[in-house]
Amino acid sequence: MEIIIKQDYEQICEEAIKIIHQAWKKKNNLVLGLPTGKTPLGVYRRLIELNKKEEIDFSQVITFSLDEYLGLEENHPQSFAYYMEKNLFQHININKENIYRLSGNPENIDEHCKAYEEKINSFGGIDLQILGIGRNGHIGFNEPSSSLSSRTRVKTLTLETIEANSRLFQDEKEVPRFCLTLGIGTIMEAKMIVLLALGKNKGEAIFKCVEGPITASVPASILQLHPQAKIIIDQEAASLLSRKDYYQWVYKNKERVDDFIAKKK
């Protein structure tokens, strides 16, 4: 795991953008896995700017959404399909047929989830999966106790997630209780994973994700097993980490290590 601690949200977004940009330069038909929520909004804004300046071209990029509320149609203002459209897709030159989403109203849920996984595999898997993290350590909507090898499926949201997400609904009762989400096993197959978090209220989840035991009670802790997982956080989200100084030291020396390795080749 690479722990990257930044001063503020702008720097977190810059770091994420740098990674996405580099990945796209290496592979123009990048397969990106994308989350919703408050955390990635700044990244999406920067991607739109870069696209407008023609520094990144989305015409060959393929995207897979991470999750969706069950029971909401695509055009419902609180659906994740609507969020992605409003905050990213409608502003960039992505081909509509390259946007893959979990439906909020599939005819057959099991078949829909299976087909989604098959679609991901047909592109050779997700190259870069962006994630946020819930205060309870969820990734996607894999709530605590989710199987660490789970595939795309239905999940029941926890009351804390319903409460956290109720800010966008008129009434907490309107927040759907069920969702579809990429499984933890599916997420772990992405070639690279970048998790973003900021603020004190994510501190405990980040501590458990990075320094706690690997457990289904904290789904994000499974990222400790991923060979290419980057955790990009601000000082507040990093506040409970016991090896914070070491992570900063590693990051400071990263270029020197990369140079050293390159010279050895």
Q: Closer CB to ligand F6R, residue 94 or residue 184?
A: 184
State which residue, 57 or 74, has the beta carbon closest to ligand F6R.
74
42 binds ligand F6R (CB under 6 A): no
The two structure tokens encoding residue 260: 């050293």
Residue 141 makes contact with ligand F6R by CB under 6 A: yes
Q: Site map for ligand F6R, 74-103, x if CB under 6 A?
A: ------x-----------------------
Position 67 contacts ligand F6R (CB under 6 A): yes
Tokens of residue 27, six digits: 């592979």
Tell me the C-alpha distance between 241 and 230, whole Å: 15
| DSSP character at residue 171 | S
**SS3 for 153?**
strand
- Tokens in use for 211? 């320094």
> Shortest distance, CB of residue 83 to ligand F6R, whole angstroms?
8
Active-site residue, selected from the candidate residues 15, 68, 127, 143: 143
Residues 16-35 binding ligand F6R (CB under 6 A) are 35
Sheet with 62-65: list strands edge to edge. 2-6, 229-234, 192-197, 128-131, 31-34, 62-65, 99-100
| CA 74 – CA 57 distance, rounded (Å) | 25
Q: How far is the CB of 261 from ligand F6R (least distance, A)?
A: 33
Comparing CB distances to ligand F6R, the nearer of 58 and 64 is: 64
- Alpha helix (H) residue ranges in the chain: 9-26, 41-52, 80-87, 109-122, 159-165, 184-188, 203-211, 244-252, 254-264
Of 51, 138, 142, 234, catalytic: 138
In the complex, least distance from residue 210 CB atom to ligand F6R, rounded to whole angstroms: 16
Binding of residue 153 to ligand F6R (CB under 6 A): no
Residues that bind ligand F6R (CB under 6 A): 35-39, 66-67, 80, 132-134, 138-141
